[in-house]
A and B are shown apart, each in its own frame.
Chain A
Amino acid sequence: MNNTKYIGVFLAFFCITHFGIGQDITAMKPVKGGALSPLYGLDSSKVWVDDFLLDVYPVTNEQYLDFVKNYPEWQKSNAKAIFANGNYLSEWQDDELLGSHMNPNSPVTNVSWFAAKAYCACQDKRLPSVDEWELAARASETNPNAENDSLFNQRIVESYETPNTSSKQVGSTYENYWGVYDMHGLVWEWTSDFNSVLISGESRRDGDADRNLFCAGAAISASNLRDYAAFMRYAFRGSIKANYSIKNLGFRCAKSN
């Protein structure tokens, strides 16, 4: 009797120390939809987001390795330049070999939007939209909408200032209200319509660009820290192209309900 108890404790300890991940790496959690006011401050219109499912963790190196074994066209040496630039999986030793310093349970990075999209499609999932991602990310541990929680926002901004967070394991930050981990503090994440953020130095070029977002006016109207953190995310999205592969940019998948 005592013995089995010990084995149970041992097993639990083993699992935690070896994987550090509380649950199935491919698990998804339901996120309840709702109204979201997109960052770009002066625009008071809200967008509606439907219920959806979101991966509990960002996709890991190990998961991505499995993917490229099954889909060789996405291996480092095979990926076409139009879909992934030269930095694609740049730290991998070989087509089917992670870099020696890389943790299999760290989030995969240096992956392009095309690659992330293909990965999710192959799992019968898809990338979350910007609005879905933002909706899930505004939840703190206890509150589904912590937009106005200054401590939560402070933490997000601080996490942006911390270098090399992409080498941590998935699940090593916090679990939010929806049971989803690492929305902030590990890596930036691709979204399906990241290129819906319009910016350009010359607003003339962008038709009706979200000028509020990037001209000086926006910085002035960004009156609190929440805007500041969101501002950074939107600016980042506006600055990248779909074949970019960046060291601190990973992804997770979503699914419609």
Chain B
Amino acid sequence: MKLKYIFQLLSLVLLVNLFACQKQTDDSEQYICPMKCVDHKTYDHPGTCPVCKMDLVKVSSLEAPVLATDNASDNSIFNLTSSWNTQNNEKIQLTDLKGKVLVVVMIYTSCEAACPRLVADMRNIKNKVDDPNIDYVLVSIDPEKDTPEKLKAYAKEEHLEGDQWILLQGTLDDVREFSNVLSMKYKKISPIDFSHTNIISVFDKHGVLQYQQEGLGVSNDKLVEEVKSLSE
């Protein structure tokens, strides 16, 4: 009987403690990098972000936007952890492209039929959009042949030069994974040829797929419009 009483008392104390704890964390203000460079890491004191050097802000001041991007980031390609080689032989991850609208296409450099038209379309889109804050990304579906050197030469040949053009080589596995994120299909049909779907995809600044243009020789007006509105 006595034991039971003590137990009840104990649980009451515990319960009070529990609420007390919760209250405490509510009271203490946490700080976070406004760009969320280190994901959602929070700090106890104000200061600067170790990555982008911006001033940390109060978490509460970001509450709504944090939630909004949280939901969105579930659909973001920045969840992919694969690493890629650029045409300049730099190693990057997709998250390194965060903060810019991305126009993405998958091609292979020895392709003679559809790819040159897709690439021409990319150039055309870039000219129409005419905005230096947008990246144009070409991912090779033939990473065994398309080395950074080959991609570099291809970029030159196809007039894809400048910071806005990013050509990527990944592993076979990571390229397959990336194609599945785009719902893009491809198949190696001979040592030098692939069949593939022709899709140009647009991602917003958070890496969420917003628009896809399917097919060859279709008008890119809608895509251009979409890119412009996303970059505002």
Write the residues of chain A forming the contact surface with B, with a CB cutoff of 8 angstroms.
80-83, 113-114, 117, 192-193, 195-198, 200, 202, 204-210, 238, 241-243
**Distance A204 CA – B187 CA, assembled complex (angstroms):** 16
* B181: Cβ under 8 A from any A Cβ: yes
Chain A residue nearest to B80 (CB atoms) is A82
A207 touches B198 (CB 8 A): yes
19 CB < 8 A contacts A-B: A81-B75, A82-B74, A82-B181, A113-B180, A114-B177, A114-B180, A192-B176, A193-B187, A195-B179, A195-B180, A195-B183, A196-B185, A198-B185, A205-B197, A206-B198, A207-B195, A210-B195, A241-B183, A242-B181
Chain B residue nearest to A192 (CB atoms) is B176
Q: Point out the residue from B75, B197, B215 that lies within 8 Å of A82, measured CB to CB.
A: B75
**Distance A206 CA – B184 CA, assembled complex (angstroms):** 10
Question: In the complex, how many angstroms separate the beta carbon of A190 from the nearest chain B beta carbon?
Answer: 11
**Distance A166 CA – B197 CA, assembled complex (angstroms):** 32
Q: Which of B48-100 contact A (CB under 8 A)?
A: 74-77, 79
B180 touches A204 (CB 8 A): no
Question: In the complex, how many angstroms separate the beta carbon of A255 from the nearest chain B beta carbon?
Answer: 14
Query: B156-176 interface mask toward A, CB cutoff 8 Å, 1 = contact, 0 = none?
Result: 000000000000000000001
**Distance A164 CA – B196 CA, assembled complex (angstroms):** 34
**Distance A243 CA – B181 CA, assembled complex (angstroms):** 8
A198 touches B79 (CB 8 A): no
Question: In the complex, how many angstroms separate the beta carbon of A214 from the nearest chain B beta carbon?
Answer: 13
**Distance A82 CA – B183 CA, assembled complex (angstroms):** 11
A205 touches B79 (CB 8 A): no
A193 touches B176 (CB 8 A): yes
Chain A residue nearest to B209 (CB atoms) is A82
Q: Point out the residue from A81, A200, A241, A242 that lies within 8 Å of B197, measured CB to CB.
A: A200
B181 touches A209 (CB 8 A): no
10 other contacts beyond A82-B75, A114-B177, A117-B177, with CB at 8 A cut-off? A81-B74, A82-B77, A195-B183, A195-B186, A196-B188, A198-B197, A205-B198, A210-B187, A238-B185, A242-B181
